[in-house]
């Protein structure tokens, strides 16, 4: 019963989440911001593997979205 209620609350909240008004603009701005961030090898897996080998650190690959306004908060 608890899990059903929790799932219903989650789905209801998800359906009512406010979306970004200019989706394409938000995606392009996010891409530009991430491409220029030195902490990321944006869309370059080979560079990520090379950096992992050089530093001896593990590689973490993140697949993410541009979040809606509710997830941003």
Residues 15-43, mean pLDDT to the nearest whole number: 77
Residues 4-8, mean pLDDT to the nearest whole number: 59
- pLDDT value, residue 16: 47
Name which of 3-17, 19-33, 43-57 the model is least confident about.
3-17
Distance CA 39, CA 72 (A): 20
Beta-carbon count within 10 A of 41 CB: 19
Distance CA 49, CA 60 (A): 10
pLDDT digit string (tens) for 46-66? Answer: 999 999 999 999 999 888 777
């Amino acid at each position: 019963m608890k899990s059903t209620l929790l799932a219903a609350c989650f789905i209801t909240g998800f359906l009512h989440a406010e979306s970004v008004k200019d989706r394409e603009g938000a995606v392009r701005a996010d891409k530009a911001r991430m491409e220029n961030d030195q902490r990321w090898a944006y869309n370059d897996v080979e560079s990520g593997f090379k950096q992992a080998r050089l530093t001896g650190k593990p590689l973490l690959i993140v697949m993410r979205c541009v979040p809606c306004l509710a997830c941003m908060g």
